[in-house]
Amino acid sequence: MVITFNHLYIKRIVYLSFLFVIVSCKTKTQDNANDKSFLKTLNKSNRVEISKLNAKELISFLKTNPEDDGFNILITIGQTKADWLNQTDLEYLISKINSKEKSKCIVRQISSFIPDSKHMTIGNQVISILESYRKKESFPNSLYICKAYKEEKINKFFSWVLFTFIFLTVYEFALWLDGRNFDFLDILFYFLGAIFSSLIITKLIPNIEISQQQVL
């Protein structure tokens, strides 16, 4: 059996294959360009220099506008320091861990990706903030922050947050006692007693009911 090749036919196949590759690359490039173009059109209210904000101000910027049906994105410029949260910040964030209020996703200015924010809540963003603080990392600690957490993760993390909060409270109380010339052994007794109480409390925390929806 003799197989003959039509040179014109082969030439067309090669041309179409080459054209397909070019169009595919162009489409992908165009998608990235569209994302970047969209990010540039966001107004100043959706763009913040995060190192100048405290925790409460950041959460305020993350709250969504119910009348806005578009992408809920907060563009952040730069990063915070690893130790940017103080006790007041921790107290505020702890109070928001279970919040189901809708939230924007955080996207760093150097990113060109737009995440889906339809399942994002203030509670999830609070956990991401506290998680980076726990790991001693600057925030945002990735190109975008738009993660939904499972219940087991939240329970474990909440225990750590509560322990840290109690520890800091006791530490400040110990400093207050020291300023009033209390005996060192008294201060040590209060300090160790509070740590022991913290460990017991974190073991007795009830399960937290929270949505387990995942970001699509």
Tokens describing residue 5: 């090749």
> Strand pairing partners for 47?
75
Average pLDDT over residues 99-128: 88
Distance CA 46, CA 61 (A): 7
Q: Which helix (H) or strand (E) holds 145?
A: strand 144-145
pLDDT tens digits, one per residue of 15-74 = 555 454 444 454 444 444 444 554 555 556 678 999 999 999 999 999 987 666 567 889
Q: What share of the chain is helix, strand, coil (3-state, %, to 5)?
A: 55, 10, 35
Left (φ > 0), alpha (ψ -120 to 50) or beta: where does 18 sit?
Answer: alpha
pLDDT tens digits, one per residue of 121-178 = 999 999 999 889 988 999 999 998 999 887 777 777 777 767 776 777 777 776 776 6
Strands 73-77 vs 47-49: parallel, antiparallel or unpaired: parallel
Least confident of 7-11, 55-59, 118-122: 7-11
Distance CA 53, CA 140 (A): 13
Q: 206 pLDDT band (50/70/90 cuts)?
A: very low
Position 76 pLDDT exceeds 90: yes
